[in-house]
Amino acid sequence: MLFSPKLLSWPCPRQSQAQAALLRRLFCAFYPTNLDDDDPPFTRIPKSPPRGPTPPLPLKPKDQPAKISPDEPAHSDLPFDFQYSYSETDPAWKPIGFREPTRFSPFGPGRLDRPWDGVAAAASTEGNREDVYGGLSRRDEVLGEALSEAEVAELVERYRHSDCSRQINLGKDGVTHNMLDDIHNHWRRAEAVRIKCLGVATLDMHNICFHLEDKTGGRIIYRSINILILYRGRNYDPKQRPVIPLMLWKPLAPIYPKVVQNVAEGLTFEETKEMRNKGLHSPPLMKLTRNGVYVNVVDKVREAFKTLEVVRLDCSHCGTSDCKKIGVKLRDLVPCIPILFKDEQIILWRGKQSQEDSVSAHCTSRPQ
């Protein structure tokens, strides 16, 4: 047991000088007098000065509510009328009514300088149409020189596969207005875009190709059944892309005259009824699926009309709306006369021999 030096202050006659030095060394080892010589198993935290008052955080500006209508409406120099669908509408179709007021523009209140008439936002006729992006001179300048066979083959090999990331799906609504903006967004980082077409619009692929080239200014360099590759052009500049105001919602379709009349033109009521019964009891020429590829339907109907007077198409899973759209397209493309839409079945009559040349102008309307 060790004691404090104060307790050992008296002299010890029996203790030698060496023993006293050893005792002093042991005492200093177990009871250090200098705190700086201590080596604890942790680091001593130095005392920090007292903190002052915390400065107040800067006040955030109050969020201003979004404006329903901007200060200035958007302006676009594109020379065509803005519609929801370009490939599935025809200027010859005249609506007889509207399901929503025409003052409700799908572009939003006060967001576009073109008035909405219920079907389209008409383009301004002022200015030179050749100077804008859709003009022929401007379009040829952007496209540049024609691609060589090697360049076309390279682009096709890069974008034709199903795992291509630059793909846009085209459905039954055809070439829509907002699709134009999607195409230009892909063209910012890619020379071409792959377009996969499905649904009613595939009945007329030539119409789709025309509107894609006409509305975007590009060029289709590859077409295989329902797959298209749209090239942007050699001199395309993303910074000079046209202004395309977006539609905020899908407008309700106007009301058009009925496609199927009670009595078909050229027939009596009894003959029309007989034709309908004959078509319902005949075997279906084709069975169409929902969102399918209908590129060969027109040719098959034309071949069938060479030997048959009435043709039935089975559209059990297409839906009533798609059935009417298919019937209207076949009426104009074959041409023929739709005489019945019942239980998702389409009955087509080829018309009389004297009427075959004028069937396409029988009824310029659209299904309700």
What pLDDT does 41 receive?
Answer: 65
197 and 305 belong to one structural domain: no
For each of the chain's 368 residues, which pLDDT tens digit applies? Answer: 445 555 445 555 555 677 777 777 766 655 555 555 555 566 666 677 777 777 877 766 665 565 666 778 889 989 999 999 999 988 888 899 999 998 889 999 889 999 999 999 998 765 444 444 445 678 889 998 999 999 999 999 999 998 888 999 999 999 999 999 999 999 999 999 999 999 999 999 999 999 999 999 999 999 999 999 999 999 999 999 999 999 999 999 999 999 898 998 888 999 999 999 999 999 999 999 999 999 999 999 999 999 999 999 999 888 889 999 999 999 999 999 999 999 899 999 998 864 555 444 444 444 44
Q: Is 314 within the bounds of a domain? A: yes
Tokens of 176: 């829509």
Q: Is 36 within the bounds of a domain? A: no
218 and 112 belong to one structural domain: yes
Which residues form the domain of 95? 82-231
Q: Is 46 within the bounds of a domain? A: no
* Number of domains making up the chain: 2
Nearest one of 360, 365, 285 to 330, comparing CA atoms: 360
What pLDDT does 129 receive?
Answer: 47
86 and 210 belong to one structural domain: yes
Nearest one of 253, 289, 257 to 173, comparing CA atoms: 253
215 and 273 belong to one structural domain: no
Q: Is 90 within the bounds of a domain? A: yes
Q: Is 161 within the bounds of a domain? A: yes
195 and 280 belong to one structural domain: no
What pLDDT does 20 receive?
Answer: 72
318 and 194 belong to one structural domain: no
Q: Is 66 within the bounds of a domain? A: no
312 and 226 belong to one structural domain: no
Instruction: Specify which residues 120 forms β-bridges with.
Output: 83
Q: Is 177 within the bounds of a domain? A: yes
Residue 315 maps to which CATH number? Answer: 3.30.110.60
CA gap 208, 326 in Å, rounded: 15
| Of 214, 231, 248, the domain-final residue | 231
| Of 212, 231, 250, the domain-final residue | 231
What pLDDT does 364 receive?
Answer: 43
190 and 276 belong to one structural domain: no
CA gap 309, 221 in Å, rounded: 40
Nearest one of 287, 290, 301, 305 to 329, comparing CA atoms: 301
288 and 337 belong to one structural domain: yes
Q: Is 339 within the bounds of a domain? A: yes
277 and 226 belong to one structural domain: no
From residue 245, alpha-carbon distances to 83, 112, 118, 168, 213 in Å are 11, 7, 17, 19, 19
226 and 267 belong to one structural domain: no
275 and 218 belong to one structural domain: no
